[in-house]
Amino acid sequence: MAMSGSASDRTARFAEAASEIAALADEAVAEGTIDALDDEALGQALAAAVRLYVAKAETGARLMPFGRNAAVTPTEIAVAAMAMLDAGRMEVFELGLWEQWSNIRPARQTSLANVEAVA
């Protein structure tokens, strides 16, 4: 269901929702209660975030995939990336080819500390 409102309202609602999802996820992981959060809802949130990230990247935006306060480990990145590749029926090799053929480029900072220097 689409909600109407000004762009600033939508921006504020999105920021609030993102903070709430992050807090709920962090609490569930820290407390060992991840089973209490619905797998389908998790997939819905991840798919929406991926679609939005790609839509912004396709406009030429040079954004980082993780926010400044988001600590994501290399293992977490690898597990999520492999799951998404599997869901898309892609192999790692195909991802490498796609990167060579595509004109869409994500930001290439090596850490989130570099984001403000580039912006």
pLDDT in tens, the chain (119 residues): 455 678 889 999 999 999 999 999 999 999 999 999 999 999 999 999 999 999 998 898 888 888 877 788 899 999 999 999 999 998 988 888 887 888 776 666 555 455 444 44
CB-facing half-sphere around the CA of 23: CA atoms within 13 A: 6
pTM of whole model > 0.85? no
Q: Name, in order, each residue with C-beta under 8 angstroms of 102's C-beta and a sequence gap of 6 or more.
A: none
- CA-based nearest residue to 106, from 49, 53, 46, 70: 53
Residue-averaged pLDDT of the chain? 84
> Is 24:36 a contact under the CB 8 Å cutoff?
no
Residues 80, 78: Cα–Cα separation, whole Å: 6
> Is 68:109 a contact under the CB 8 Å cutoff?
no
